[in-house]
């Protein structure tokens, strides 16, 4: 079975600084997607960024970027210029690139942005 590991249960960062959240995964397949989701306190889970495993280029969405190392099975999230609104639980997730397959989530990292 596929597993996703987030080794940092909690992190904190000063406003305007940069922080990196770690994620590693385990799979024997070649065709998959990786995601980072954000769950703000008492609010809905939303997608932050996605990466297709067959693309070498790292995905970027505004202040959010990933460092995807396929051989190392590593998928870290970098948040630049951290804002108070970035305070949330962040979940790394894996999904096969075929229909009828659910996401497999890591246990999450609680990020606090401090003013």
Partner 1 sequence: DVKVTQSSRYLVKRTGEKVFLECVQDMDHENMFWYRQDPGLGLRLIYFSYDVKMKEKGDIPEGYSVSREKKERFSLILESASTNQTSMYLCASSWLVTSAKETQYFGPGTRLLVL
* Interface residue list for partner 1 (CB under 8 A): 6, 9, 33, 35, 43-47, 50, 52, 91, 95-108
CB of 66 to partner 1, least distance (A): 14
* Comparison of 63 and 107: residue with beta carbon closer to partner 1: 107
* Comparison of 76 and 96: residue with beta carbon closer to partner 1: 96
CB of 12 to partner 1, least distance (A): 18
Q: Residue 24 to residues 8, 30, 34, 66, 115: CA-CA distances in angstroms?
A: 11, 15, 10, 12, 30
> What's the sign of the alpha-carbon dihedral 92, 74, 15, 60?
negative
CA–CA dist 23, 85 (Å, integer):
22
**Residue 45 structure tokens:** 């889970």
* Comparison of 79 and 104: residue with beta carbon closer to partner 1: 104
CB of 32 to partner 1, least distance (A): 9
What is the phi/psi pair of residue 84, to 5°? -55, -35
CB of 41 to partner 1, least distance (A): 12
Which residues 6+ apart lie within 8 Å of 62 measured at CB? none
* Comparison of 34 and 79: residue with beta carbon closer to partner 1: 34
């Amino acid at each position: 079975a596929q597993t996703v590991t987030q080794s940092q249960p909690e992190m904190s960062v000063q406003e305007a600084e940069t922080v990196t959240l770690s994620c590693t995964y385990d799979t024997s397949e070649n065709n998959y997607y990786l995601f980072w989701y954000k769950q703000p306190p008492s609010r809905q889970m939303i997608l932050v960024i996605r990466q297709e495993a067959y693309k070498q280029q790292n995905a970027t969405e505004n202040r959010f970027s990933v460092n995807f190392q396929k051989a190392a099975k590593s998928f870290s999230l970098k948040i630049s210029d951290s804002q108070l609104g970035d305070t949330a639980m962040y979940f790394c997730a894996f999904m096969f690139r075929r229909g009828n397959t659910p996401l497999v989530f890591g246990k999450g990292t609680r990020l606090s942005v401090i003013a």
